[in-house]
């Protein structure tokens, strides 16, 4: 299962979360099956998001949609700097 990982600095978490919740790219329509949002304990002005897909092509389409969204600072007012984004695949998972 491919996972799109994105991370970026933000101005304000509540502002960012409200924009994320509005879902301007239609995550479900792009094939997102599950998402996780993380914040570093030592940096509340940073977020890490993981979006799971059935196919790599869906993840790539989502990456393109996010790129379009991020080019519009009006649509993404809470972002600071350039986001980091990549598509990864789990190679091992183990519970302890």
Any domain includes 61: yes
Q: Is residue 73 part of a domain?
A: yes
Q: Tell me the whole-structure pTM to 2 decimals.
A: 0.91
- Give dist(CA 45, CA 53) in Å, integer: 27
3 neighbors 89 (Cβ within 8 angstroms): yes
- Give me the CATH number covering residue 40: 3.30.70.100
Q: Is the pLDDT of residue 43 over 70?
A: yes
Range with the lowest mean pLDDT among 17-21, 40-44, 75-79, 87-91?
75-79
Q: Would residue 95 count as lying in a domain?
A: no
Distance (Å, whole) CA 47 – CA 8: 6
Residue 78 lies in a domain: yes
Number of domains making up the chain: 1
Cα separation, 95 vs 22, whole angstroms: 34
Q: Is residue 94 part of a domain?
A: no
- Rounded-to-integer distance, Cα 65 and Cα 24, Å: 9
96: in domain: no
Residue in the structure block whose two tokens are 């890490």:
48
Taking the C-alpha atoms of residue 85 and residue 6, their distance in angstroms, rounded to an integer, is 4
17 within some domain: yes
Collapsed DSSP state (helix, strand, coil) of residue 64: helix
pLDDT digits (tens, 9 = 90+) for 47-91: 999 999 999 999 999 999 999 888 876 667 788 888 999 999 999
Domain that holds residue 58: 2-89
Asked whether residue 24 is domain-assigned, the answer is: yes
């Amino acid at each position: 299962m491919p996972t799109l990982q994105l991370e970026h600095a933000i101005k304000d978490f509540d502002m960012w979360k409200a924009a994320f919740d509005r879902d301007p790219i239609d995550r479900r329509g792009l094939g997102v099956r599950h998402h996780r949002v993380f914040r570093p304990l030592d940096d509340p002005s940073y977020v890490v998001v993981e979006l799971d897909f059935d196919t790599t092509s869906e993840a790539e389409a989502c990456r393109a949609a996010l790129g379009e969204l991020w080019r519009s600072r009006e649509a993404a007012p809470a972002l600071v700097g350039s986001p980091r984004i990549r598509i990864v695949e789990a190679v091992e998972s183990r519970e302890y």
